[in-house]
Structure 1
Amino acid sequence: MSEKDPSVSDEEWAAFVEAARKDGVGTGPVPEPRRRRPRRPKRHEPEGWRTGPAWREMNGRGKARRQVKGAVGITLAAGLLLFAVRPDLVTDRWPEGLGGPGATTPLSAETARPSAAPSQEILPDRPTLKEPFKGSPALRWADGAAGIELPRARAVGGMSKKEVAAALDTVGRFLVAANLDRATLRGERPTDAIELLDPLQKDVRPRIDRWLAKPGRDSDPLWLFSRFDPAEVRLAGDVVKTRGRMTFEAGERSGEVQVHADYTFVYPLVKTRPGFDEVARTVVRRQMTFALYDPAKIVATRGALFVLRMDESAGNSDCARDGDGFLRPQFSEDLISAVPPGGPEIDPYDRSKDLGDLPKKCGTVTRI
């Protein structure tokens, strides 16, 4: 879409701007389409974090894993105001065929990295409280934990098939507890997720405790958990959409299996203010690697997870509030007086690229 959508005439755009001002939407100038508020994430490399089991620290063998990346916060396009405030200006111009037969057919499970992003509709449907995933590729994704399908286990890395199956199950439970559990999403302590992490991993649990107690740009619990401020927003409905895949391989030493998880979660949200009914979506993608060890061969707690990698990208989270421990979705009224956009354009639904290859700064979201 160009700076002014060519499907809307100059007269209609002027009418939209004037109507928005008369309706009291915001106090500043109405932005042109495609404007977003940038935020700056922080790459964080805490000392001692994810250095592997004790044998690696004692004898120096193997690689210490210390590559921790912060969130890439990408905010909602202010151009969506055109649909959120005055959808009547453009709905009669929608191309025929959008949302036709098969548009809501559930997708089969993801078994490999996609080669491209999902196709985009020219004028997507506006989400509602009854249909919060309208206009989103996530409409065809699985609901919640159903989207976290475990691969078939096999013996690898000196670990039996049964042990690998247990590792996969533990990673799945962590992802659910960290990203789908309602208490976690409400900003409560993610106890179930934390209990799955190995206390023998150097300072991991105390560090998470500090992040939760005093979040900051260098100590953000969002690197591991999806959390929203219950004083400001709540889920619109009971469903979070999920899509991704899990793989595993032998680790660097006998008695180690590594599990790689790459999942995107789509959260539909509404402000808690009485009478507020606009739905906004925040899209969070996580790429994580966990290790489970055989305690007979490596110093570790049986069945517990070591975190080896945690990359996160969040689409539609206010850059200006980065580091306060919550994802901060923005709505139409928040964007009326937003500053001009900046940073690279990123599609939060594009799962074809590795998060490590994306720009490490706040950018411009192309859709939510």
Structure 2
Amino acid sequence: MSDKPAEEPPSHPEIPDDVWEQFARDTERDIRASAPKEPSARAREVTGRLKPGKGEEPPGWRTGPAWQEMNGRAQRKRRAWAVVGLPLAVAVVVVAMKPSIIPGDPFHKGGKSGNGSPDAVASPLAPETAAPTGAPSAVDPETPTLDRPFAGSPALNWADGAAGIVLPPAKAVGVFSKDQVQRALKQAEKLLVDANLNPKTLAGARPAAALAVLDPEQPGMIKELNTSLKTPTKAHDPLLMFSRFDPKDVRLVGDVVKTRGRITFKEGEHSGVVIHSDYTFVYPVVRTNGSTEVTRTIVRRVVDLELLDPARYQVTSGRLSVDRYDSDFGNSACDVYDGYFHPEFSSPSTAEPTGPEPSGPTTDPYDRSKDLGAGGENETCGTVSRT
């Protein structure tokens, strides 16, 4: 056996300059032509104005006005999205052309995906316990198919559906016992599952289980949500709380929605239990016209719910009030307010709403490192960097 050390492979793939330049031009052209569109996504922050019960009214706890009057002061933000930058696309394709420049076997060829179909195996991520420091890394650029709907997506190694909603251990908070806090956490989980993962809700049905979690004593909240579901408009948009697709146009591919996020809780300013949830849901869909082209819509939601003391406030025992709900939608037609997501496909269809052309800056819909409430109001609608 020779003691001579083996030569190390070159740190960069050997690609002729003319081939590289042509590739860069073609890549930039294709990306600009095919980048999926993203809608305007508005944020709505809601402070529960409930009538006080027994005891004194805490400082800052207002008893009015009604929900409709608060509506004018709620924030409405438009999330900005744009095409992916050329350097990132080049780096991804270089890796695909010469994977030996990466140590190990990052793509785990020959395995099964999380939905039981042939796909690249990725080690399941541990549950998220804090905001990540940045967006997920670039992955092998693969086209999603009916058998592999999460191919080429960072969500491939995310949890499947409700398995990704992991509740923290309950403990007593203020006047509420450990068991009461546990029940409130389960109520929050029930809302998230019914609003974002229930196949009937996704197909446009009324999310009755999610609505049953909410306190009917909270002024105007149930009425507002019912109005948005019955007669959706820009001012009353059910997509701010519920994920819905028009069953006449698209359907889910398989029975898996990828889920990533976290739930935390703490004592609120009004001696209640505030439950904070921040989740991203990835929906693979296909048209119902017989096409086999698969695309994905990515939805991030932040919802703050509060369990209040019925001894101090006029509330329904065991029900939750809504303090805030914000959302961002990735890959859905801009400024269409019919109560459904309208995913963009690379092959156009005259039967689907398109909305205005996007014009916003670049944002990665998989990036969970930034606060959803960050940014100014009236941001322009743009395009997603990836789906």
TM bucket (normalised to shorter chain) is 0.7 to 0.9
The answer (yes or no) to whether the contact 1:151–1:247 under 8 Å persists in 2 is: yes
Mapped partners of 2:278, 2:358: distance in 1: 28
Tell me, yes or no, if structure 1 residue 55 matches structure 2 residue 52. Answer: yes
Is the counterpart of residue 271 in structure 1 residue 287 in structure 2?
A: yes
> Which deviates more from structure 2 when the two are superposed, residues 101-110 or residues 173-182?
101-110
| Aligned with residue 124 of structure 2, among 101, 106, 111 | 106
Q: Paired residue for 1:204?
A: 221
Number of equivalenced pairs: 334
Q: Which sits farther off after the overlay, 176-185 or 68-77?
A: 68-77
In terms of Rg, which structure is larger?
2
**1:68-108 CA distances to partner (integer Å, 9 max, x unpaired)?**
445746678599xxx9xxxxxx8996341652379511000
Q: Partner of 2:298 in structure 1?
A: 283
Give the whole-Å Cα distance in 1 for the aligned partners of 2:355 and 2:233.
23
Secondary structure, counterpart of 1:319 in structure 2: coil
State the Cα deviation string for residues 255-283 of structure 1 (Å, max 9, x = none). x1000000000000000112x11110000
Give the superposition deviation at 1:208: 1.2
In the alignment, structure 1 residue 331 sits paired with structure 2 residue 348? no
* Structure 1 position 37, deviation (Å): 4.5
Shift of 1:195: 1.1
Aligned-pair distance for 1:358?
3.8
Contact 1:71/1:314, CA 8 A, preserved across alignment: no
Instruction: Report the residue type matching 1:106 in the other structure.
Output: P
1:7/1:93 contact within 8 Å kept: no
What secondary structure, in the 3-state scheme, does the structure 2 residue paired with 1:346 have? coil
Whether contact under 8 Å (1:50, 1:202) holds in the other structure is: no
Distance 1:201 1:284 in 2: 26
Give the C-alpha shift of residue 35 in structure 1: 4.7
Post-superposition Cα deviations, 1:325-357, rounded to whole Å, max 9, x if no partner, equal 111110001399998652121111111100111
* Deviates most, 352-361 or 140-149: 352-361
Structure 2 stretches of 5 or more lacking a match? 1-18, 100-104, 110-119
- Distance in 1 between residues matched to 2:295 and 2:38, nearest whole Å: 17
Q: Secondary structure at the match of 2:269?
A: coil
Task: Check the 8 A contact 1:283/1:315 in 2, yes or no.
Answer: yes
Q: 1:24: which partner in 2? A: none
What SS does structure 1 have at the residue aligned with 2:373? Answer: helix
| TM-score relative to the length of structure 2 | 0.76
1:35–1:340 contact (8 Å) kept in structure 2? no
Out of 111, 123, 137, which is 1:119 matched to? Answer: 137
Q: What amino acid is aligned across from residue 363 of structure 1 in structure 2?
A: G
Separation of aligned partners in 2, 1:144 and 1:183: 14
Tell me the CA shift for residue 205 of structure 1: 1.2
Q: Secondary structure at the match of 1:55?
A: coil
The structural deviation recorded for 1:365 is 1.3
Match of 1:299 among 314, 325, 336: 314
Is 1:179 paired with 2:215? Answer: no
The share of aligned pairs that are identical, in percent, is 42
> Which residue of the partner structure matches residue 342 of structure 1?
359
Matched residue SS, 1:234:
strand
Structure 1 residue ranges without an equivalent (≥5):
1-5, 18-29, 84-89
In structure 2, relative to structure 1, the CA distance for the partners of 1:277 and 1:158 (3 Å cut) is: same
Amino acid in structure 1 at the alignment position of 2:134? A
Q: Please, which moves more after superposition, 310-319 or 64-73? A: 64-73
